[in-house]
Structure 1
Amino acid sequence: MHAFTEKDIRASFVNASLRERNSLIVPDLAQVDWDGLDYFGWRDPKQPLAGFIVVPVDGEAVGILLRQTEQRTRTRAQCSWCEDVTLPNDVVLFGAKRAGKAGRNGDTVGTLLCEKFECSVNARRPMPPAYLGFDVMAARRRRIEALRAHAEGFARDIRDGA
């Protein structure tokens, strides 16, 4: 993933008002390992139920404002994006308004995601071989490709409002 500037990030949000975009607290981008990310996500400590993600779609940034549900799942859930079966971190349900008229009419989409957006780390973590001769590196590449496809599909769904 290529690096984004704060200006790029603020301008990328498709489902946030101008006031929401201007009030965003963007983390220190100099500390971000862009090469190890498939999407950029962060939480704002002042807004504990808010989450923010920026997904590259066709070379452009698509930013999405997420809201975590207050209710936790009763059982350990699996992230819909990284699909990590070892469940190394908490997974929560996030909802996002669609962009445009659909979002203004209350149309939302929900997804289960790693609470602190650890998907890129999870997809790259070496997994134990499933059987003798199992190609661990090929499986890792497939997990990364699947994560990118899930993130991009969600971003397109929110952006296009369909």
Structure 2
Amino acid sequence: MRPIAEREIRASFVNCTKGEAKRLAVPRDLDVRPWDDLDFLGWQDLSSPGRAYLVAEQGDRLVGVALRRATSNAGHVRRSMCSLCLTTHTGDGVSLMTARRTGGGGNSVGAYICTDLACSLYLRGKKDVGPGGRMPESLTLEEKIGRTAVNVSEFLQRVTV
């Protein structure tokens, strides 16, 4: 992913008002993010643990969505799999994230996503998920990255339809 500025991030949001986009908490460390290793920019709102955000390149534009995280399954030991990068985590490492659909009507779509939204780093082995987090696959890294990009794109399409 190419480096993006705060102004671009705020302008990319499609499922919230301009006022909401103006007030959302954008990461302060944009200048040190590993942009070459990111397929999308994702972060949690540290001031509001139930909120998260995802911004991805879709064709020639950025698309950002505000997400709500379902309540945690703290204490759960079963594994859950991220529907974007197919990484498995124990406990609350994967959360149901819902996004309000564009166009109003109160509808939303959801997906199980790595709670820390670090899918790109897990995929590339830059962030450790622990034993059994990445299942052995015959796909190349480029094919896994492509699959994740398709999964992100399909999620964003469900939000913007």
Structure with bigger RCO (C-alpha 8 Å, 6+ apart): 1
Shift of 1:71: 4.7
Instruction: Return 5+ residue gaps in structure 2 as ranges.
Output: 127-133
How far residue 59 of structure 1 moved from its aligned partner, in angstroms, is: 2.1
Structure 1 consecutive aligned stretches of length 4 or more whose deviation exceeds 4 Å: 126-130
Q: TM-score under structure 1 normalisation? A: 0.84
**Shift of residue 139 of structure 1?**
2.4
Report SS of the residue matched to 1:154. Answer: helix
Task: Give the RMSD, CA atoms, in angstroms.
Answer: 2.2
Displacement of 1:116 in angstroms is 0.4
Structure 1 or 2: larger helix share? Answer: 1
Cα offsets for 1:93-125 (capped at 9, x unmatched)? 00101112xxx2111001000000111012112
Q: Which residue of 1 aligns with 2:131?
A: none
1:105 equivalent to 2:108? Answer no
Q: 2-side partners of 1:51 and 1:128: how far apart?
A: 26
Range with bigger deviation, 4-13 or 68-77? 68-77
Q: CA deviation at 1:19?
A: 2.0
For 1:32 and 1:117, the matched residues in 2 are separated by: 13
Aligned to 2:48: 47
Residue by residue over 1:48-97, the C-alpha shift from the partner in whole angstroms, topping out at 9 and shown as x without a partner, is: 10000001100210000000012538532100000024x37800000101
Is residue 92 of structure 1 aligned with residue 95 of structure 2? yes
Which entry has the higher C-alpha Rg, 1 or 2? Answer: 1
TM alignment of 1:60-79, pairs within 5 A: 60-72=61-73, 75-79=78-82
> Partner residue of 1:141?
142
Q: Is the 8 A contact 1:65 1:96 kept in 2?
A: yes
Q: Aligned pair count? A: 150
1:117 correspondence with 2:117:
yes
Aligned residue number for residue 34 of structure 2: 33
